[in-house]
Amino acid sequence: MYDLIILGAGTAGLTAALYANRAGLKVLIVEKGVYGGQIVNTPLIENYPALKEVSGFDFVQNLYEQAVTKFETPVVMGEITDFSFTGIKKSVTVDQTVYTARSIILATGAEHRKLGCAGEEKFKGKGVSYCATCDGAFFRGRTVAVIGGGNTALQDAKYLANHCQKVYLIHRRDKFRATKVEIDSALKRENIIPIYDTVVEEIMGENMVTSLKLRQIKDQTETILPVNGVFIAIGLNPNNGDFSKEVETDEGGYLIAGEDCKTNLEGVFVAGDTRTKRVRQLVTAAADGAVSAEMAVEYLNC
Nearer to ligand NAP, 136 or 148 (CB): 148
Binding mask 183-222 for ligand NAP (x = CB under 6 A): ----------------------------------------
Count residues near ligand NAP (CB under 6 A). 18
Closest C-alpha to 134, from 44, 202, 260, 246: 44
Nearer to ligand NAP, 11 or 152 (CB): 152
Tell me how far apart the alpha carbons of residues 104 and 87 are, in angstroms, rounded to a whole number: 12
Close Cβ partners of 301 (under 8 Å, ≥ 6 residues apart): none
In angstroms, how far is CA 9 from the centroid of its own chain?
A: 13
Of 143-151, 204-212, 219-227, 287-295, which segment contacts ligand NAP by CB under 6 A?
A: 143-151
Q: Does 152 bind ligand NAP (CB under 6 A)?
A: yes
Among 84, 93, 133, 151, binds ligand NAP (CB under 6 A): 151
Nearer to ligand NAP, 64 or 231 (CB): 231
Q: How far is the CB of 92 from ligand NAP (least distance, A)?
A: 29
- In whole angstroms, how large is the CA radius of gyration of the chain? 21
Q: Catalytic residue among 82, 95, 117, 134, which?
A: 134
Binding mask 94-133 for ligand NAP (x = CB under 6 A): -------------------x-x------------------
* Consecutive H or E run containing 216: strand 209-216
Q: β-strand 97-106 against 2-7: which pairing, if any?
A: parallel
Q: Catalytic residue among 3, 95, 135, 242, which?
A: 135
* Chain residue whose CB lies nearest ligand NAP: 150
Tell me how far apart the alpha carbons of residues 279 and 285 are, in angstroms, rounded to a whole number: 9
Q: Does 148 bind ligand NAP (CB under 6 A)?
A: yes
Check if the beta carbon of residue 147 is closer than 8 Å to that of residue 153: yes
Q: How far is the CB of 117 from ligand NAP (least distance, A)?
A: 9
Among 78, 235, 241, 253, binds ligand NAP (CB under 6 A): 235
Q: Does 150 bind ligand NAP (CB under 6 A)?
A: yes
Q: How many CB atoms lie within 10 A of CB 48?
A: 16
Close Cβ partners of 252 (under 8 Å, ≥ 6 residues apart): 236, 238
Binding mask 269-288 for ligand NAP (x = CB under 6 A): ---------x----------
Instruction: Report the alpha-carbon angle 100-107-272, nearest 5.
Output: 155
Tell me how far apart the alpha carbons of residues 144 and 201 are, in angstroms, rounded to a whole number: 16
Strand partners, 275: 255
Tell me how far apart the alpha carbons of residues 152 and 142 are, in angstroms, rounded to a whole number: 20
Nearer to ligand NAP, 113 or 166 (CB): 113
Of 75-83, 98-106, 129-137, 146-154, which segment contacts ligand NAP by CB under 6 A?
A: 146-154
Among 177, 189, 213, 215, binds ligand NAP (CB under 6 A): 177
134 noted as active-site residue: yes
Check if the beta carbon of residue 244 is closer than 8 Å to that of residue 235: no
Close Cβ partners of 273 (under 8 Å, ≥ 6 residues apart): 10, 12, 38, 109, 110, 236, 238, 280, 285
131 noted as active-site residue: yes
Active-site annotation, residues: 131, 134-135
| Binding residues for ligand NAP (CB under 6 A) | 113, 115, 147-153, 155, 172-173, 177, 233-236, 278
